[in-house]
Structure 1
Amino acid sequence: MSHALSLPYEPLATWGRSLVAWLGGKGVAGGAVLLATWTAYRLVPLLLRSLPLPETEGELTRQAVRAKTLRNVSESALKVAVVTVGGLLFLSNLGLNVTALLAGAGVAGLAVSFAAQNLIRDFIHGFFILLEDQYGVGDIVKVGDLAGVVEKFNLRLTVLRDLEGKAHFIPNSQIQQVTVFTQEWSRAVVDVGVAYKEDVDRVLAIFRDEAERFFQDPEWQDKLTNPPEVLGVENLADSAVVIRTLFGTKPAQQWAVAREFRRRIKKRLDQEGVEIPFPHRTLYFGEPLRVVKETP
């Protein structure tokens, strides 16, 4: 390399000597800054994940949801801070005036803000979602036509994972209305139809008895919060009398409770000889053709 720099080619020789001088001085320090920035960037999620979360024993509590959400937001904010500080130190090491650069960036930021209004809205909406604890990581929500588990949340976007495993990335500014299925407590609503010929009072007694047995089952008591309510006849449908039963459950347990009660009440109605109707279809082909013979 020294032989190449000794060649009388200008300005290449001068540039080469300047480059060697810079690499021997500021270049090493700049490389160290970049290495430290990259290391800190990689350590941020590892350090945050090592922090203990509230003990929930598998339950979806607000404390656990809040802790996971704050950890996600903190990870994003710390990564941005690490990259920003590392970038400023690297530029300062190059000999640039960082103070003047920041002042210029502030002026340029006003111009950029007009082009990044949606991004600013995302951060503002995300801040209020976090502040009001509307939902968090682990909650099951519905946003518009999309529903799923909140897999990731930061101030810019929300990531939903639906039942089919699809990930949906939704900017926070587009979330105008959200339905949360796991906020503090949940409820299972079970509608079951019986035939019109059945005695309604007897059917209601069977439902109350089976719901009480379900509530007293030790295997399911930790998922239920309140005694079940058999509201009675909810609807007189085309082919069935619909009976509605309510179960107060812990967050995210309403679907498992509803499936189990449907299984139990189906078996119980079969034992009691109560018919669960299903639609019947009668095909009509019209009157049969009659052949009329004409006599000569």
Structure 2
Amino acid sequence: MADLLRLLEDDNVRVWLEQKQAAVSESRDNEAVWFIEEWEARSRTRVNALLAAVPRVGNELSRVVSAVRQEAQGSGVMPSALMFAIIAGVAFGTEWIFRRSVPALSIVKSPLKQTYTEFLTLSIFTATVAILFFLFAWPPLMRVVVLYSLVALIAWRLATALCRIALAASILSARSYSRIRIFVALLAATMACSAVSERLAVAADVRSALAIGLSIPIVVLAIAMIWRERSSDVQSLRGRISRAMGISGAIVLWLLWCGDFLALFWLGVMLVLVPRALSIADSLMLSFSPSRSCGRNLLDPKAVLLVRGTRAIILIAAVDWVAFVWRHSFPFVSGEVTLIRTIIAGAFNSVVILLIIDLVWQLAKAYITRKLSDVGDEGTLPSNALARESRLRTLLPVFRNALAAALLCVAVLTVLSEMGVKIGPLIAGAGVLGVAIGFGSQTLVKDVVSGIFYLLDDAFRVGEYIEAGNYTGVVESFSLRSVRLRHHRGPIFTVPFGSLGAIKNASRDWAVDKFRIRVPFKTDVDKVRKLIKEIGAQLQADPELGSLFIEPLKLKGVEQISEYGIELGIGFTCKPGEQTMIRRKAYAMLMQAFQGNGIDFAQPVVQVSGDDKETAAATLAARLSPDKAAPGTASPA
């Protein structure tokens, strides 16, 4: 220990350590520059290795083919190609027999019927291949060749089934269907050849050169597909640019793959394929939805679950695969740059979390919207069902807004946590800020709390007519802080909950309406009672007004004896909000009934009297009949 301390005190050693520390610090500061240079060196090394491996491809293939053939001859079995052809032929024959023997399905929708048929026959095909493969005892090398060839065949068969389903749903054209089948066949054959070469111990550089050579037809076919697909829009500048970008993108992706930049290659592939896959999946899932014919896909939770769930599965699978590739082939994610690694990993995890939260929100929103749209006609619902529907129409929008706010907060906090941000201080700070805002905005807190208690007390609902202080109107909507009232003359009042006070609700259960009429003293009250009873029966028999009555129109009795006549009280009980229309109809029918039965309404009468009896009699006669004045009586000047 003493020698070590003595060595550290040496000036030369101290200078050397400081230089090393500065060099390490400089390399850390210029890490991005070194990273670019490393990529350049890696690319140059890869190109040189591929060029050197090209002359050895033929020898390696001959060696592998010879080894597999000798193993087959030594084991007394047929060649691999012949065994593969036999298994594939038997599987296709079994599938053809099954297709011809299965009776036609009684399914109206063509995509659903095609899906059922394709996946059922695909299961038969796969099961036949598996059974035939496991029936034989394969030599080691031959087993690898046949196994990966059969896996590629099943993958091609699955892609064919999906293309047929898309073709039945009119999402894919017949020409595109043929090209995609050829493209998938070449891709599956190339991947199977690469897997077999790796398992048969072919050199890595030779295997890469062979894979690049086999990928050239795939790239050419992809370019041809882009050229043909966008040839119809080539007359416009936008179409030309789109086609040029598509072809350039295919070439760039192929070069990235050839250069072994798998992280960027798979990211580009997902950026190209995922939007197209999402569009096709949406069309397919909507074609399977039972509500497609009635055009209510956005309101059906099952359709939302089908569409959004499929989208989430596709996106999560794509994100997970890109994250897996980046984790194993991209230095930024492998641990060299901590900040960038944390951000990229957090972005991948955040996408999954946001997709799950979006799925929950879309399901909840679809369910709430469906419930709000299913509210029945008020005139056809019983009172208890009407009350339940009205309460749902009132509370569900509030619940939807609260759920949106809660999910948004959860999403933000979760994304920040995945990005490496410590959310504990944020939550604590938000709590302190909330307390401060609460003290500073007591009126706002009062409005929110009052609104919560109004909703808990079920004081009013959307569509009800209420009176609160100086405000009257129909409840149109409300937020966490205020309620919107539509006055019967048109204006809208936006009233904070804290300013409402006592609520007078005129739209609950039933309404009693009373009004008075004045008749002369000599009127027969019993006759009036009978007439009003007949009018009440006629109103109840009215097809428009009859269903609104709870108790019929009837005479309550003599309410008051006034100076000019008798005041009679009339009343009825009806559904809330309908009393004005019934009262107007009753007024019209009372006037007609009284006029037809010689009953008058009482009117004020002024009598003028004096000392001269003849003058008084003449005045009375003139009032009763102005055109027939008493003879010899002069009109007043």
Q: TM-score, normalised by structure 2?
A: 0.36
Aligned pair in 2 of structure 1 residues 81, 207: CA closer, same or farther (>3 Å)? Answer: same
Q: Is the CA contact (8 Å cut-off) linking 1:183 and 1:251 kept in structure 2?
A: yes
Q: Is the CA contact (8 Å cut-off) linking 1:212 and 1:227 kept in structure 2?
A: yes
- Describe the superposition over 1:109-160 as per-residue Cα deviations: whole angstroms up to 9, x where unpaired: 2221111212222222222222221211111111122211111134422111
Which of structures 1 and 2 has the bigger CA Rg?
2
Is the aligned partner of 1:252 residue 2:577? yes
Q: Is the CA contact (8 Å cut-off) linking 2:553 and 2:572 kept in structure 1?
A: yes
- Describe the superposition over 1:242-277 as per-residue Cα deviations: whole angstroms up to 9, x where unpaired: 332211112322222222212211221222232335
Equivalent in 383, 406, 413 of residue 88 of structure 1? 413
Aligned pair in 2 of structure 1 residues 31, 184: CA closer, same or farther (>3 Å)? Answer: same
Whichever residue aligns with residue 151 of structure 1, its letter is E
1:176 deviates by 0.9
2:503 paired residue number = 178
Is the aligned partner of 1:199 residue 2:523? yes
After superposing the two structures, state which structure 1 stretch, 96-105 or 41-50, moved more.
41-50
Whichever residue aligns with residue 149 of structure 1, its letter is V
1:279 deviates by 7.1
Q: Which structure 2 residues correspond to residues 126-165 of structure 1 after superposition, within 5 A? A: 126-165=451-490
Aligned pair in 2 of structure 1 residues 57, 114: CA closer, same or farther (>3 Å)? Answer: closer
Is the aligned partner of 1:67 residue 2:410? no
After superposing the two structures, state which structure 1 stretch, 90-99 or 75-84, moved more.
90-99
Is the aligned partner of 1:124 residue 2:444? no
Q: Which structure 2 residues correspond to residues 146-295 of structure 1 after superposition, within 5 A? A: 146-194=471-519, 196-201=520-525, 202-236=527-561, 241-276=566-601
Whichever residue aligns with residue 215 of structure 1, its letter is Q
Provide the identity percentage: 25
Q: Residues of 2 paired with 1:118 and 1:166: CA distance?
A: 25
Task: Kindly indicate which of the two structures has a greater share of residues assigned to helix.
Answer: 2
1:47 deviates by 4.0
2:368 paired residue number = 48
Q: Is the CA contact (8 Å cut-off) linking 2:532 and 2:554 kept in structure 1?
A: no
Whichever residue aligns with residue 249 of structure 1, its letter is C
Aligned pair in 2 of structure 1 residues 103, 255: CA closer, same or farther (>3 Å)? Answer: same
After superposing the two structures, state which structure 1 stretch, 61-70 or 84-93, moved more.
84-93
Whichever residue aligns with residue 528 of structure 2, its letter is V
Whichever residue aligns with residue 142 of structure 1, its letter is E
Q: Residues of 2 paired with 1:165 and 1:39: CA distance?
A: 40
Whichever residue aligns with residue 62 of structure 1, its letter is A
Q: Residues of 1 paired with 2:484 and 2:554: CA distance?
A: 36
Q: Residues of 2 paired with 1:279 and 1:39: CA distance?
A: 75
Q: Residues of 1 paired with 2:596 and 2:589: CA distance?
A: 11
- Describe the superposition over 1:47-93 as per-residue Cα deviations: whole angstroms up to 9, x where unpaired: 41112645455357311211111112212212221332233245445
Task: Kindly indicate which of the two structures has a greater share of residues assigned to strand.
Answer: 1
How many pairs does the alignment contain? 265
- Coordinate RMSD, CA, aligned: 3.8
Whichever residue aligns with residue 67 of structure 1, its letter is L
Q: Residues of 2 paired with 1:126 and 1:98: CA distance?
A: 31
Determine which structure has greater relative contact order: mean sequence separation of CA pairs < 8 Å that are 6+ residues apart, divided by chain length: 1
Q: Is the CA contact (8 Å cut-off) linking 1:140 and 1:148 kept in structure 2?
A: yes
Q: Residues of 2 paired with 1:29 and 1:277: CA distance?
A: 87
Whichever residue aligns with residue 256 of structure 1, its letter is M
Whichever residue aligns with residue 75 of structure 1, its letter is R
Aligned pair in 2 of structure 1 residues 102, 268: CA closer, same or farther (>3 Å)? Answer: same
Three-state SS of the structure 1 residue aligned to 2:545 is helix
1:294 paired residue number = none
1:181 deviates by 0.7
Q: Is the CA contact (8 Å cut-off) linking 2:475 and 2:485 kept in structure 1?
A: yes
Q: Is the CA contact (8 Å cut-off) linking 1:126 and 1:157 kept in structure 2?
A: yes
Q: Residues of 2 paired with 1:170 and 1:192: CA distance?
A: 39
1:179 deviates by 0.8
Aligned pair in 2 of structure 1 residues 127, 240: CA closer, same or farther (>3 Å)? Answer: farther
Aligned pair in 2 of structure 1 residues 145, 200: CA closer, same or farther (>3 Å)? Answer: farther
